[in-house]
Structure 1
Amino acid sequence: MLGINGLELVVLVLIAVMVLGPERLPEYAAQLARLVKGLRRMATGAREQLREEVGPELDEVDWRKLDPRQYDPRRIIKEALLDDVEDAFKPVNSGAPRPVAPAVAPAAVRPALSVPVGPRLSAGQSAPYDLEAT
């Protein structure tokens, strides 16, 4: 309650009694009661107006789930990092049989790879350098 404990509240009431005096204290207490009732009436009216405008969806909202105090950034980051690790270790095709890697064939049986090879540089010649490409 506004960071005031019981002892501090008692001290504030005693100071109010001394400052206001016993003849004005009931008048100010009645004004405070009217203020509190008016604030409650306004809050109730705002709640009812919101309920009318939003409709029955307002009753279905789980407000505890939307409370920002429940979010712990350390837990969220930890879960996000662990999700990535778990996804990395999951097999891609969990139900499909895994293909068997072919045995390495001898060099004589292996087909030649067709990789385009450019002109060879002579010994001591520097590689071409494109200024616009870097």
Structure 2
Amino acid sequence: MFGLGWPEVVALVVIALLVFGPEKLPQAAAQAGKTLRNLRQMANNAKQDLRSGLGPEFADFDPADLNPKTFVRKHLTGDLEDSWNGASSAAPTAAVASAYADSYSADAAQELGYGEVPPYDSEAT
């Protein structure tokens, strides 16, 4: 949860005790819980409004897919994940690596001898 460990949580509780005092801390915690619950409810309502506004064409739309990291992962490895039928997410990466290794084998690369000039491709520069 938010990358917090036990030492950080204990430090936050001690700071909260010092700021609010032992009398008002339960009220502050209850108010924080209500606020968090209201924010979650508002986010869920906004998500439902967005889905209903987009219509049935976007029934499988997930706002988390708009995260650039998720978007790239889904669209770059989507075909590979479909072919693995629910295998782990590491399987497509291994498949790409092995396909690359197969296409670029040691036989395909010609080693140059000492003093040999590599071929020059004028269209590539």
- The structure with the greater share of residues assigned to helix is 2
Look at both structures and tell me which one has the larger radius of gyration over its CA atoms. Answer: 1
Give me the TM-score of the superposition, normalised by structure 2: 0.47
Which fold has the larger relative contact order, with Cα–Cα distance below 8 Å and residues 6 or more apart in sequence? 2
